[in-house]
Amino acid sequence: MKNYYTCKQSKHGTEFCTGHRINGGAVETLVLETLQTVSRYAAANEADFTRQINEIFSNQQAENVKSQRRKLKSSHSRHAELDKLMQRIYEDNANEKISDKRFDVLSHQYESEQEELEQTIIQLEADLNSYDDSTDRAAKFLELTRRYREFSELTPAMLHEFVDRIEIHEREDKRAIVTTQRVDVYLNFIGTYSPPVEALEIAKPDPVAAAEHERCMAKLMYQREYKIRREANGGKPLGHFTGQRPDGRTPEEIAADEVAKTARLKEYHRQWYQDNKERMKAEKAARNEVKQPPQDLSAEEKKTA
């Protein structure tokens, strides 16, 4: 029995997200393969892995810190500006330049904005003080790889310790049975990380898997071509699926062939009925004659018959 994961944001409306889903087994397999690949590379190349994580997060943190500091400076400036505005409306109200009602509205508005700014300033300062060193991130992940050296299945404990979150994106072709779908696996401490391609072991191709992949891709290409041809045909079906790939006929030629096929079928039925009309009439009369008893029999014989 297959289980599926469906986006829960879609229940709030399509403006939040669509109701896309993915097979649960596919997600578990992808997460397991990701953990195995990253863990093996990190355990075998600790120095290179640490250097790469340092470079990634040092660049990210530099941009984040710069953005947070700009926002913090802007929040402090606005907070000071609101203090001056509050002082000004107090003076204007005392000099009767603005009414008490207007003063109450403005003072409430400025005080609410100042409270929001104070919360924002506290959060920004906490974020700036909580940035971890990139080396600590790599070291923490390496500690996990030492605890889980070799594994062939995904356990709830591993999922909790290794994975931060999983983001499932839209299917490329929503109506196709076989299509591609992007999945981002965010690991704890290091985020979305992929080892260098040259460091990955090139697995030997599996003939059975390659044949199955080729079959699925051929089916996918047929579905896409059929979709394009059907849209060109005004959304009308192009006839029954025969197991063959589409030929070079245009939608108009296909529609004309369908009309001719229907006409030939009707003509065949009409000719068959015409040819067998007399025979069918004779067979019907014979059946009726067998059912009726002879007229010259007595009443007792008719009853017995």
pLDDT at 205: 64
Question: What pLDDT score was predicted for residue 284?
Answer: 82
Output the pLDDT for position 304. 59
Compute the CA torsion angle 53, 56, 59, 63 (nearest 10 deg): -110
Lookup: tokens for 211 = 């044949």
> Distances from the Cα of 108 to the Cαs of 96, 111, 113, 122, 226, in angstroms?
18, 5, 9, 21, 63
| pLDDT band per the 50, 70, 90 thresholds, residue 1 | very low
Q: What is the pLDDT of residues 16-48, one digit of tens each?
A: 567 677 888 888 889 999 999 999 899 888 888
Does residue 257 have a pLDDT over 80? yes
Task: Tell me what pLDDT residue 196 has.
Answer: 81
Q: What's the confidence (pLDDT) of residue 239? A: 60
Higher-scoring residue by pLDDT: 36, 296: 36
Q: Which of 1-15, 136-150, 200-214, 277-291 has the highest mean pLDDT?
A: 136-150
Query: Measured at the alpha carbon of residue 34, what is the angle toward residues 30 and 37, in degrees to the nearest 5?
Result: 140
